Amino acid sequence: MLTKRLIACFDIKNGMVTKAHKFQDNIDIDTAENVARRIYEDQIDEIIFYDITASFEKRKIDLETVRKVAKHVFVPFTVGGGIRNLDDMYEVLKAGAGKISIDSMAVRNPGIIREGAMAFGRQCIVLSMQVKRVEKTFRIPSGYEIAIDGARVFTGIDAVEWAKKGEELGAGEICVNSIDQDGTHSGYDIEITSLISRNVNIPVIASGGAGKPEHVAEVFTKTGASAAIISSMLYSPRMDRNYSVKEIKDKLVEYKIPVRPWIENYNI
């Protein structure tokens, strides 16, 4: 049985890790390299880095911060934000990333998914989706709409249909970011995570809302997600308390969920 993955996600602005509530009211935490080093040493399975204002500001991703983080982490490292073309993808990979996350630009130019998959392999391409619960309509039958540019712009695109299209174009993985649950610490959006997991045949990452280990266990037992983002639980000052990777994995083991073991005295 494949192990479930725990992923630390860093929203980056001006080289700092920042934490939002429903994509707003950001609080700065620490430099990206300091947070990444600490979480890596705590034996996180993977790391995702989003330059959250790059697309909105129509600029390139902060490559210097990518390089700084890459020096300190030796687990799968995904980077997104401001990726506009193959040259941008190549620069991110050269800076130390192992995978590329595309979001807003993929909506504007779906062909970038296919181009990236053909150039670097579909295992390198993660389609990140900002999703929000809306009224079900003929146009949005799932009741979840895709947003872009840090949830500033709504597209009228159905989330499930976009996930299926992304897989068809060559995405190797999908990250489902719930706008409604982001920063709430009340649990993941089980409905949309489950809907997308059932409708695609590639790994799905659940994102948005985790506040305690039981929420992580719930998303793994109630949906087909293969990974879960646990960023707030690890470092957010909005939490009553933060958790270690070991605490979270210990709880998942209690639920008989397969995870990569946390190793005492692990030689980083």
**Model pLDDT, residue 25:** 56
**Model pLDDT, residue 268:** 55
**Model pLDDT, residue 181:** 93
| Global pTM value | 0.92
Q: Is residue 98 a part of any domain in this protein?
A: yes
Q: Is residue 204 a part of any domain in this protein?
A: yes
**Model pLDDT, residue 66:** 93
**Model pLDDT, residue 255:** 96
Q: Is residue 190 a part of any domain in this protein?
A: yes
Q: Is residue 264 a part of any domain in this protein?
A: no
Q: Is residue 187 a part of any domain in this protein?
A: yes
Q: Is residue 160 a part of any domain in this protein?
A: yes
Domain range for 122 is 5-254
Q: Is residue 46 a part of any domain in this protein?
A: yes
Instruction: Look up the CATH number of the domain holding residue 135.
Output: 3.20.20.70
**Residue ranges in the chain modelled with pLDDT below 70:** 1, 19-26, 55, 237-239, 265-268
**Model pLDDT, residue 182:** 87
Query: What is the number of structural domains in the chain?
Result: 1
Q: Is residue 234 a part of any domain in this protein?
A: yes
DSSP characters over the chain: -PPBEEEEEEEEETTEEEEEETTEEEEEEEEHHHHHHHHHHTT-SEEEEEETTTTTTT----HHHHHHHHTT--S-EEEESS--SHHHHHHHHHTT-SEEEE-HHHHH-THHHHHHHHHH-GGGEEEEEEEEE----SS-TTSEEEEETTTTEEEEEEHHHHHHHHHHHT-SEEEEEETTTTTT-S---HHHHHHHHHH-SS-EEEES---SHHHHHHHHHHS--SEEE-HHHHH-TTSSS---HHHHHHHHHHTT--BPPP-TT---
